[in-house]
Chains A and B, each alone.
Chain A
Amino acid sequence: NAGVTQTPKFQVLKTGQSMTLQCAQDMNHEYMSWYRQDPGMGLRLIHYSVGAGITDQGEVPNGYNVSRSTTEDFPLRLLSAAPSQTSVYFCASSYSGTISYNSPLHFGNGTRLTVT
């Protein structure tokens, strides 16, 4: 199993450009999420999904879009990149997102994004 695959690993954008960060998992996980990690701060949730066709906002959703058309894929779109979006982005998945069920998180290797 590949687990959670994130691409690209590194990306440099100019202000105003758009791009999509890809995330795919092959574990048939219901729950998928995107986090950003900034120096001196804990991981912060951007968007998440508890199943195909269902997405919801996290703590810091502004400037980002997501969709979940399949169980496997959960891309994150930056609509118009800003320097404040310079960060390391992680995709994570787990078996179930339901309230009554806890399951371990599986993370991708991260995408280091710089916006100039």
Chain B
Amino acid sequence: KNEVEQSPQNLTAQEGEFITINCSYSVGISALHWLQQHPGGGIVSLFMLSSGKKKHGRLIATINIQEKHSSLHITASHPRDSAVYICAVRAEGGSQGNLIFGKGTKLSVKP
């Protein structure tokens, strides 16, 4: 059983649409990361959160610790948002090395 599940696996949207990517996990955590992997392969950290909500530009990340669930929202999506979005959790009591990664959600935004 995967400890970090992302949905959907693939997502196609039209430019301007509001997008939601979900991440569910089964372990107690101390932090959750959202990462973006560009088509060229590079990985960028978008958010790190342990409670509540964070916003950066058109991106919003929320987390519900009780429900073991996080969402990444993209408002007014643009073709440059096309990427793979990866959720990763750091288990409670675990070292920074013990991140558990989801398999990623591949987003394609069409103009």
Please report A residues at the B interface, Cβ cutoff 8 Å: 31, 33, 40-45, 48, 50, 56, 58, 88, 90, 92, 94, 96-99, 101-107, 109-110, 112
Contacts and interface: CB of A to CB of B under 8 A. Distances in A.
A102 B93 contact: no
B101 to A, nearest CB: 3
Contacts of B66: none
A105 B33 contact: yes
Contacts of A42: 4, 86, 88, 100-104
A42 B35 CA distance: 12
Interface in B79-98: 86, 88, 90, 93-98
A88 B99 contact: no
Contact of B48 (A31, A96, A104, A112): A104
Interface stretch (B11-19, B39-47, B57-65, B67-75): B39-47
B97 A43 contact: no
Contact of B35 (A44, A48, A101, A105): A105
Interface of B: 4, 30-31, 33, 35, 40-45, 48, 50, 86, 88, 90, 93-104
B96 A97 contact: yes
Contacts of B104: 42
Contacts of A90: 43
A99 B29 CA distance: 12
Given A40-B103, A43-B86, A107 B97 contact: no
27 contacts: A31-B97, A40-B103, A42-B4, A42-B101, A42-B104, A43-B88, A43-B101, A50-B95, A88-B41, A90-B43, A94-B96, A97-B95, A97-B96, A97-B97, A98-B95, A98-B96, A99-B93, A102-B48, A102-B90, A102-B96, A103-B96, A105-B33, A106-B45, A107-B42, A107-B45, A109-B41, A110-B42
